[in-house]
Structure formats: structure tokens, C-alpha cells
């Protein structure tokens, strides 16, 4: 608001006549009446929220809400800006059947035409409480949206099933919630139970902020594992699966998850929850999420995660990542990202800390806990190093600008992911933190590290769940207290510049160098096999879905790009043979000696064509190789803390 007024003032000084004179054409219509901005004062009533999930086969959630403390000109809001999504992704299109009554009489509502998440309610004078009924239409298939419910389990995210009064901080609105589940289902949540009878559970009253940060996972096949049997604060792994066979967890697998909790405590030296629940779906029927909350997290993986443990290493940084968020992102939150309620826009300028450093600690804690081996961590960094070394998007777009990606294009498919850039603050962010960690270690001759920063920055207010925000300057100050250095310049060089070299200093200073061989690491092979993809990104420049040969990504400026092969193209044949991942890989290898282009028959819609890829360098897969001239700082970083 202030900026645009200032701009008009400057314009009118320079061009007074042009700005002030009326011109031909329509006039702008008046804006809609302003909405009450959130105030930090107690809401004078409460929300009684009753959610019924028993209509699970139809994926319809029935919601009844009794709102007391109603005042004239009530505006009800449906949460729009979702924490963890960093984006205006509240699924307003799934709210249906809205009916509001007061003392049994219907009350009219009208949606604000500009802010379609706001409902203006015309309650009669003197009415103090209203009843609100609506249905949340959870997706019936993946075509409509990520499935949240199946005949065997459900994910209940409270922001999808609540309307709340405008004008208050979310932490000032009390909610008493009840939840009805299908017969015989168990649930997990950070919420505390007040009472339970049959299928209906009443939770202890909480603020709207705590409710929305405390989703529920429930299901027919469930197991609850204690991850800190001797600790003062309970931490549990709440498993929900499509079938009971997926719930078998071996002792060594449980041990690694328990070690994750202890390694996190050694790193952060605090906790910021009353108890913590890893809500974990092992399912192909509901979406496989990763979403952080302060006292719980939403996690999803393949049903085979525990039974096919050795092949699925790549996925095991998920829990370390989401657990780290309890400290980095939830307890300590960027000041411009924190909002008083869910309908005030978020700003994402520090996501390279919120997500970048969390990605870094996710990798490190995965290795320190034994969920990963050291080699797994090296192989992950090898993939990222190779990707960012080749990234063409960095030629035009600074890393800082990618922090807007959740708002620009929240995880919708993209045609040119590497040239457009896609949320690079996660993995390029992690490389910057490896750079910072190894720099602190080098400058302090091994006496200090990023662990010291983590303890100082996240280890404050042990036991408190109250959010503490921070700015860029707070971050720089905290790093300076660990290791005096021009950290502001360090970050600006890596965040704001375009066409800069890839951030590879951390790997080099960690004692490794990037090499390519014709064989993928076990880690990468596990990932590609699990996704059923042929990954030829670092050779011909293609990533292909092996189920039918459809290209899922083409690297900009790669040999495949030059042959006009784009995302969505189907590869039918390779050098005259029907497509398979192996046939294509063999052709890439053979072209090395034959020096003949790889000939593909392609299909786009109803159109067939032949393309020739001119590439003769063979298969290329990234690895990190030890450089003995530099101390093995990376090995120290990923070693378990005693
Ligand atoms: Zn994250």
C-alpha cells in the first residue's frame, strides 16, 4: 500500500497533467468493503467443531461447527495461506453444502467477490451464536487431487474443515474439537484427548493455531512405536498402512529411528513440543506427503518401506527432514513468513534457511542416525552437485528468486524444470549450508562447526512451544558469534547473483570431488528403480518413465533438447528396437564406439517422428570421490555424535 502511493506521488510531480487528466474509457468500480485485519486480542467466544469422517467410502467429511461470540458484520474465513505449503493453497473448491443457521432459522451468507475465501454472514441483530454445516469433499481420485482418504486410512488436516472469524490472531481463537472415525480405526495426533467413547473422541481445548498445526492420521491397520522409551518427553512413530504386513518393523530399523531422536537432541539441545508424533502412512492409496508441524509431522512412503529396506534408502531422509522442522521452521520461523492467521499473505524470503538448512540437517541426521550410510549421504550430494553444476536456470534466475516458487507455481508440473528452476532453495540451499559448515570448520581448524550454530539458534527456550521469529540479520549475527566472518556477503554472493559458478565449495572443502562413471550408485539405482524411471539426465539429458517410455524431463541445452525431445514425448523405439530403459542405455553405450546418432521413434499425440541424438560420450552417473589433499570434513559432519 505505501509503496504504490509513493510511486503515484513521484509520477504526479513529473507528469502532473498526464496523471490528473481524465481519459476516455471505463472508470474502475469501487473495491469491496475492507475485511477486519487480525488483532492480538482474545476472541469473545469459541468454536465447537464436530468432524465426522465415517463417510469414508465416498470421501465426504461432514462438518458441524457452533460458533459463539458472534458480532454484527461477521466474516468467516476458510484458511488460504497454509503453513508448510508457504502458499495460498487452501482447497476452497472442496468446501460444499454450506448452510448457516441461528436458533434454527437460516442465515444468508455471501462470498466476498475479491477474496473468495471470505464469507460475509448476515446474522440477525442480537444473535450470539450460529451453527455452520458444510461438507469437505476430499478427492475421490488422484485426478481431482492428492487422495487423503481410502477404505483403510485417512489424513485429516484441520484447516480443510474449519471456518473461523476474521479479525483475530489464530492463537486467540479457542477451539474444542470432536472427531468421529470409522468403527475400529485407530488414530495418531499431537492433540491431547479429553475423552473418548466408541468412535467419537473429544480433544482438549486448544487455540486454532495449535489445532491447525496438529493433523490426525487414522486407519484400520496401525502401529505405534515408542522412539524414546527413556526420555522425559514422549516421541512416537505412528504407522498407518494399506495392509498389516507393511507394519512389521525390524529391531535394527526401530533402533535407527530411535537414534534419530537422540542425534537431533545432541544437535539442537532442546525440544519444542509436549510430545511428538511422526504420523507415517505406508500407502499407495493415499498421498505420500512430507509436511512439518511443530509437535508432529505428516510423512508418507511406499508400503514396502520397512519390508524392502535396503532398496529404498533414498527416501529415508524424510523423517529426519520433517523432525528438523520442529526446530527450524516451526519453533524458529522467518519473521516475514509468520502470519497472524491463515488469510494474511506469507513472504518466503528466508526459505533457503527454513527449507535449505532443514534439507542439510535432514541429510546429516539421516547419516548420523544410521537411517543412511555415509555412502548414501555422499551419493545424495553427488546427485545435487552434478545437477547444480549443470543447471542452466541459474544463468538467468538467482536462487533467492526461487523462494517465490510456492506462490508462482505450487508444485504443478513444469515443462522445463531445470531452466525454469524449481524450488532450488531446498537442495542448492543445502549445498550452501555444507559450504558454510565446512568453512567454519576450516577457519576454526576443526574446533567449531554448524552444530554450534544449531545449538545457539534452535536450542533456546527448551521445552517452550512459543514461536520465535528471526530475520536475515539475526541469522548473520548468530553465525558471527560462532565464527567471525562476513556472512552477509557470503549469503548475498550465493543468493542474489546470476550466472555464478555452482556452489561446490562445500564438497571440495569437505574433502571430495565430483566424478562421473558409467554406473549409477546403489543409492541412485534404488531411487530410479523405485520410481520406475530411466535417469539419463547427465548423458543425453532425459528422465523417462519406464512404464511406457514417456519423457518426464529434458535437460535444457542437452543432446536430447537439441533433438527437440520434450517432456510428454513418448519414446516408442530406439535404433529400431522397442523402447525399454535398458535398450536405451545400451544404445547410449554403443554410440560411444559406433559414433552413429541414437535414432528414436517418437510419439506426440497422433504424430510420429524420428529423432537422432548426437551424443557419443556414453553413460554418465555422478559420484563423489575422496580428495586426500583435503581433510575429510564431510566424514566428520555425517559421523554420529557421541
Ligand atoms: Zn521441508
Q: What is the pLDDT of residues 194-242, one digit of tens each?
A: 988 889 999 999 999 999 999 999 999 999 999 999 999 999 999 999 9
Contact (Cβ atoms closer than 8 angstroms) between residue 326 and residue 295: yes
502 alpha carbon – ligand 1 mean position (Å): 22
Quick one: pLDDT band at residue 30, thresholds 50, 70, 90? confident
Cα 67 to Cα 173: distance, rounded to the nearest angstrom:
11
Residue 94 DSSP code: G
Quick one: pLDDT band at residue 15, thresholds 50, 70, 90? very low
Mark out the alpha helices in 280-355 (DSSP H runs). 318-324, 351-354
Quick one: pLDDT band at residue 86, thresholds 50, 70, 90? very high
208 alpha carbon – ligand 1 mean position (Å): 22
Buried b (16+ CB within 10 A) or exposed e, 97-109: ebebebeeeebeb
Q: CA torsion 115→118→124→127, rounded to 10°?
A: -150
593 alpha carbon – ligand 1 mean position (Å): 45
Nearest in space to 276 (alpha carbons), one of 262, 261, 288, 263 = 261
Query: Where is pLDDT greater, at 517 or 35?
Result: 517
Q: Give the pLDDT mean for 619-640.
A: 98
534 alpha carbon – ligand 1 mean position (Å): 26
Q: How far is CA 146 from CA 143, 191, 314, 513, 607, in A?
A: 8, 24, 22, 39, 31
405 alpha carbon – ligand 1 mean position (Å): 14
323 alpha carbon – ligand 1 mean position (Å): 9
Burial class (CB within 10 angstroms; exposed 0-12, middle 13-18, buried 19+) of 591: buried
Give residue 142's pLDDT: 94
Give residue 19's pLDDT: 58
Contacts of residue 569, Cβ cutoff 8 Å, sequence gap at least 6:
550, 551, 602, 603, 604
561 alpha carbon – ligand 1 mean position (Å): 31
Q: How far is CA 189 from CA 60, 218, 277, 399, 530, in A?
A: 21, 9, 6, 36, 29
253 alpha carbon – ligand 1 mean position (Å): 23
Cα 593 to Cα 269: distance, rounded to the nearest angstrom:
57
Buried b (16+ CB within 10 A) or exposed e, 126-158: ebeebbbebbbbbbeeeeeeebbbbebbbbbbb
List, for residues 151-205, the tens digit of each pLDDT value.
999 999 999 999 999 999 999 999 999 999 999 999 999 999 998 888 999 999 9
322 alpha carbon – ligand 1 mean position (Å): 6
Map residue 230 onto helix, strand or coil. Answer: coil
Cα 544 to Cα 570: distance, rounded to the nearest angstrom:
9
144 alpha carbon – ligand 1 mean position (Å): 24
349 alpha carbon – ligand 1 mean position (Å): 15
528471526: which residue's cell?
A: 470
Cα 340 to Cα 598: distance, rounded to the nearest angstrom:
57
566424514: which residue's cell?
A: 635
Give residue 12's pLDDT: 42
Q: Give the pLDDT mean for 400-418.
A: 95
58 alpha carbon – ligand 1 mean position (Å): 31
- Please state, rounded to an integer, the average pLDDT across all residues of the chain: 95
Give residue 544's pLDDT: 98
List, for residues 498-512, the tens digit of each pLDDT value.
988 888 999 999 999
Q: CA torsion 491→493→498→501, rounded to 10°?
A: -100
Nearest in space to 573 (alpha carbons), one of 582, 564, 583 = 583
126 alpha carbon – ligand 1 mean position (Å): 46
356 alpha carbon – ligand 1 mean position (Å): 8
587 alpha carbon – ligand 1 mean position (Å): 39
321 alpha carbon – ligand 1 mean position (Å): 6
Q: How far is CA 159 from CA 46, 89, 213, in A?
A: 16, 11, 9
6 alpha carbon – ligand 1 mean position (Å): 37
Mark out the alpha helices in 141-219 (DSSP H runs). 208-212
User: Within its chain, how far is the Cα of 548 from the centroid?
Assistant: 29
List, for residues 247-293, the tens digit of each pLDDT value.
999 999 999 999 999 999 999 999 999 999 999 999 999 999 999 99
29 alpha carbon – ligand 1 mean position (Å): 42
| Phi and psi angles of residue 390, each rounded to the nearest 5 degrees, phi first | -95, -5
Residue 7 scores a pLDDT above 80: no
List, for residues 341-377, the tens digit of each pLDDT value.
999 999 999 999 999 999 999 999 999 999 999 999 9
Quick one: pLDDT band at residue 10, thresholds 50, 70, 90? very low
351 alpha carbon – ligand 1 mean position (Å): 9
Cα 34 to Cα 213: distance, rounded to the nearest angstrom:
28
Give residue 502's pLDDT: 83
Buried b (16+ CB within 10 A) or exposed e, 462-471: eeebeebebe
533 alpha carbon – ligand 1 mean position (Å): 24
Contacts of residue 520, Cβ cutoff 8 Å, sequence gap at least 6:
528, 535, 621
Map residue 366 onto helix, strand or coil. Answer: helix
Residue 41 scores a pLDDT above 80: yes
Q: Identify each DSSP E strand in 435-580 by its residue range.
A: 468-470, 512-517, 533-536, 542-545, 550-554, 570-574, 577-578
Q: How far is CA 462 from CA 192, 211, 456, 465, in A?
A: 21, 22, 11, 9
325 alpha carbon – ligand 1 mean position (Å): 7
pLDDT > 70: what percent of the chain? Answer: 97
324 alpha carbon – ligand 1 mean position (Å): 9
Cα 605 to Cα 619: distance, rounded to the nearest angstrom:
29
Quick one: pLDDT band at residue 311, thresholds 50, 70, 90? confident
CB atoms within 10 A of CB 628: 7
357 alpha carbon – ligand 1 mean position (Å): 9
333 alpha carbon – ligand 1 mean position (Å): 12
Residue 13 scores a pLDDT above 60: no
Contacts of residue 87, Cβ cutoff 8 Å, sequence gap at least 6:
81, 346, 406, 407, 410
Give residue 31's pLDDT: 79
353 alpha carbon – ligand 1 mean position (Å): 10
37 alpha carbon – ligand 1 mean position (Å): 29
64 alpha carbon – ligand 1 mean position (Å): 32
Write the DSSP assignment of 415-441 as a string of letters: S-HHHH--STTTHHHHHHHHHHHHHHH
494 alpha carbon – ligand 1 mean position (Å): 20
Write the DSSP assignment of 385-410 as a string of letters: HHHHHH-SGGGT--GGGGGGHHHHST
- Here the cell at position 143 is 485426478
245 alpha carbon – ligand 1 mean position (Å): 29
Contact (Cβ atoms closer than 8 angstroms) between residue 216 and residue 179: yes
Sheet holding 75-77, edge to edge: 109-111, 118-121, 75-77, 164-165
Residue 39 pairs in a beta bridge with 168
pTM of the entire predicted model: 0.95
Contact (Cβ atoms closer than 8 angstroms) between residue 368 and residue 195: no
477 alpha carbon – ligand 1 mean position (Å): 24
373 alpha carbon – ligand 1 mean position (Å): 21
List, for residues 441-495, the tens digit of each pLDDT value.
999 999 999 999 999 999 999 999 999 999 999 999 999 999 999 999 999 999 9
559 alpha carbon – ligand 1 mean position (Å): 33
5 alpha carbon – ligand 1 mean position (Å): 37
Residue 6 scores a pLDDT above 90: no
Q: CA torsion 141→91→83→186, rounded to 10°?
A: -50
Cα 191 to Cα 195: distance, rounded to the nearest angstrom:
12
Quick one: pLDDT band at residue 18, thresholds 50, 70, 90? low
Among 19-23, 103-107, 193-197, which stretch is predicted with the lowest mean pLDDT?
19-23
291 alpha carbon – ligand 1 mean position (Å): 7
Residue 69 scores a pLDDT above 80: yes
355 alpha carbon – ligand 1 mean position (Å): 5
427 alpha carbon – ligand 1 mean position (Å): 11
413 alpha carbon – ligand 1 mean position (Å): 19
Give residue 32's pLDDT: 81
Looking at beta carbons, which pairs linking 157-161 to residues 24 or more positions away fall under 8 Å? 157/212, 157/215, 158/49, 158/211, 158/212, 158/214, 158/215, 158/216, 159/79, 159/82, 159/90, 159/212, 159/342, 160/61, 160/79, 160/90, 160/91, 160/94, 160/136, 161/49, 161/51, 161/61, 161/63, 161/136
Length of the chain: 642
User: Within its chain, how far is the Cα of 445 from the centroid?
Assistant: 35
518 alpha carbon – ligand 1 mean position (Å): 32
Residue 168 DSSP code: B
Amino acid at each position: 500500500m505505501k509503496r504504490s502511493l509513493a510511486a503515484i506521488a513521484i509520477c504526479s510531480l513529473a507528469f502532473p497533467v498526464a496523471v490528473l487528466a481524465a481519459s476516455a474509457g471505463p472508470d474502475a468500480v469501487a473495491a469491496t468493503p475492507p475485511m477486519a485485519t487480525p488483532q492480538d486480542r482474545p476472541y469473545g467466544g469459541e468454536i465447537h467443531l464436530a468432524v465426522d469422517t465415517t463417510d469414508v467410502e465416498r470421501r465426504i467429511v461432514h462438518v458441524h461447527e457452533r460458533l459463539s461470540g458472534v458480532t454484527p458484520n461477521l466474516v468467516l474465513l476458510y484458511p488460504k495461506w497454509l503453513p508448510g505449503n508457504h502458499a495460498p493453497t487452501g482447497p476452497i473448491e472442496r468446501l460444499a453444502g454450506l448452510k448457516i443457521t441461528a436458533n434454527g432459522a437460516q442465515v444468508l451468507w455471501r462470498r466476498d467477490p475479491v477474496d473468495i475465501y471470505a464469507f460475509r454472514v448476515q446474522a440477525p441483530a442480537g444473535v450470539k451464536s450460529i451453527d455452520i454445516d458444510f461438507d469437505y469433499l476430499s478427492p475421490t481420485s488422484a485426478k481431482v487431487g492428492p487422495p487423503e482418504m481410502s477404505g483403510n486410512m485417512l489424513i485429516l488436516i484441520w484447516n480443510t474443515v474449519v471456518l473461523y472469524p476474521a479479525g483475530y490472531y489464530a492463537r486467540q481463537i479457542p477451539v474444542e474439537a470432536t472427531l468421529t472415525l470409522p468403527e475400529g480405526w485407530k488414530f495418531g495426533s499431537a492433540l491431547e484427548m479429553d475423552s473418548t467413547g466408541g468412535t467419537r473422541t473429544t480433544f482438549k481445548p486448544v487455540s486454532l493455531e495449535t489445532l491447525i498445526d496438529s493433523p490426525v492420521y487414522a486407519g484400520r491397520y496401525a502401529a505405534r512405536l515408542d522412539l524414546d522409551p527413556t526420555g522425559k518427553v514422549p516421541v512416537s512413530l505412528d504407522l498407518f498402512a494399506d495392509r498389516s504386513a507393511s507394519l512389521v518393523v525390524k529391531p535394527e530399523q526401530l533402533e535407527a529411528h530411535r537414534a534419530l531422536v537422540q542425534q537431533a537432541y545432541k544437535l539442537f539441545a532442546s525440544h519444542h513440543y509436549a510430545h511428538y508424533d511422526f504420523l507415517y502412512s505406508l500407502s499407495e492409496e493415499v498421498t505420500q506427503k512430507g509436511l512439518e508441524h511443530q509437535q508432529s509431522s505428516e510423512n508418507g512412503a511406499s508400503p514396502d518401506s520397512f519390508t524392502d529396506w535396503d532398496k529404498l534408502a533414498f527416501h529415508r531422509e524424510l523423517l529426519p527432514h520433517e523432525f528438523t522442522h520442529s526446530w527450524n521452521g516451526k519453533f524458529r520461523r522467518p519473521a516475514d513468513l509468520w502470519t497472524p492467521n491463515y488469510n494474511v499473505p506469507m513472504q518466503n524470503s528466508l526459505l533457503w534457511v527454513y527449507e535449505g538448512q532443514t534439507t542439510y540437517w535432514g541429510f546429516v541426521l539421516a547419516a548420523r542416525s544410521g537411517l543412511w550410510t555415509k555412502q548414501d549421504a555422499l551419493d545424495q550430494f553427488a546427485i545435487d552437485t552434478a545437477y547444480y553444476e549443470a543447471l542452466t536456470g541459474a544463468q538467468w534466475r538467482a536462487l533467492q528468486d526461487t523462494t517465490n516458487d510456492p506462490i508462482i507455481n505450487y508444485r504443478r508440473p513444469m515443462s522445463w524444470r531445470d531452466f525454469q528452476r524449481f524450488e532450488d532453495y531446498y537442495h542448492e540451499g543445502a549445498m550452501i549450508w555444507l559450504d558454510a559448515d565446512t568453512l567454519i570448520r576450516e577457519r576454526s581448524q576443526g574446533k567449531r562447526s554448524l552444530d554450534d550454530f544449531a545449538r545457539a539458534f534452535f536450542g533456546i527456550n527448551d521445552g517452550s512451544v512459543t514461536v520465535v521469529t528471526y530475520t536475515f540479520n539475526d541469522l548473520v549475527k548468530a553465525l558471527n558469534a560462532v565464527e567471525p566472518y562476513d556472512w552477509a556477503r557470503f549469503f548475498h554472493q550465493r543468493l542474489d547473483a546470476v550466472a555464478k559458478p555452482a556452489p561446490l565449495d562445500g564438497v571440495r572443502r569437505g574433502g571430495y570431488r565430483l566424478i562421473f562413471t558409467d554406473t549409477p550408485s546403489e543409492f541412485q539405482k534404488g531411487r530410479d528403480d523405485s520410481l520406475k524411471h530411466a535417469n539419463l539426465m547427465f548423458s543425453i539429458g532425459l528422465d523417462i518413465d519406464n512404464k511406457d517410455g514417456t519423457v518426464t524431463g529434458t535437460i535444457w541445452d542437452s543432446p536430447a533438447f537439441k533433438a527437440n525431445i520434450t517432456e510428454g514425448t513418448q519414446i516408442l523405439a530406439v535404433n529400431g528396437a522397442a523402447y525399454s530403459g535398458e535398450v536405451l542405455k545400451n544404445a547410449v553405450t554403443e554410440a560411444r564406439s559406433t559414433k552413429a546418432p541414437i535414432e528414436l521413434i517418437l510419439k506426440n499425440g497422433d504424430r510420429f517422428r524420428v529423432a537422432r541424438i548426437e551424443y557419443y560420450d556414453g553413460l554418465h552417473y555422478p559420484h563423489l570421490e575422496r580428495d586426500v589433499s583435503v581433510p575429510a570434513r564431510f566424514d566428520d559432519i555425517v559421523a554420529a555424535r557421541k
